[in-house]
Structure 1
Amino acid sequence: MYNQTVREGKTMAIISYITVIGTLIAFIMNQNKHNYFASFHIRQSLGIFILWLIVNFIQRYSDFGWLNTILGIGVFVLWILGLLGAIQGEEKRIPLFGDQFQEWFRNIG
């Protein structure tokens, strides 16, 4: 049963990492099916997008120089890890924030 859930939700999970529009599309696609695997990745990608917004805000209104670059690269790495998890069919929570994203957005999906 688990493999069937992953197979059915894999496309939606991958789409959820393709910009915030992809997250919205995957969310809408998942409303009828309520696929747990897709929901997991939709929550992760939504959290990464919000994290990106926060880092972008910090970068615009601060002058931390190299720290801004490190924060941007860090969010990019988290995005890559989430996308790779979706492609591989795994429910890997992203480091540092994955548990919080699952808890904060538990009603999504």
Structure 2
Amino acid sequence: MDDLKKEANEFAAEAKDTANEFATNAKETFDNNNGENKKILAGVLALLLGTLGVHKFILGYNKEGIIQLIATFVTCGIAGIIPFIEGIIYLTKTDEEFYNTYQVGKKGWF
């Protein structure tokens, strides 16, 4: 009887460790995916629809998005070079750099 209790306790402890490890790994995976997905999405949108400020809205920079939109219309599209450069910068940064700079640090321009 004591052997069964001992085995049951060992099994329970092992299951708990496995569950904690799974939860930790899952959290890291989802955190990294969110940063990566926003990086790729923002970078591609900056290259394709940057003149409309879409990439700024995706990152949560509403004021900067509106400024980009107005600048595009006021300059007849010449201000469209800014999001093109930003898109290249977004896509060339590492996932960690992008996340820390634009999602945590909230750096609005370049």
Structure with a larger share of its residues in helix: 2
Is TM (by shorter chain) over 0.5?
Answer: no
Structure number with larger C-alpha Rg: 2
TM-score bracket relative to the smaller structure:
0.3 to 0.5
Determine which structure has greater relative contact order: mean sequence separation of CA pairs < 8 Å that are 6+ residues apart, divided by chain length: 1
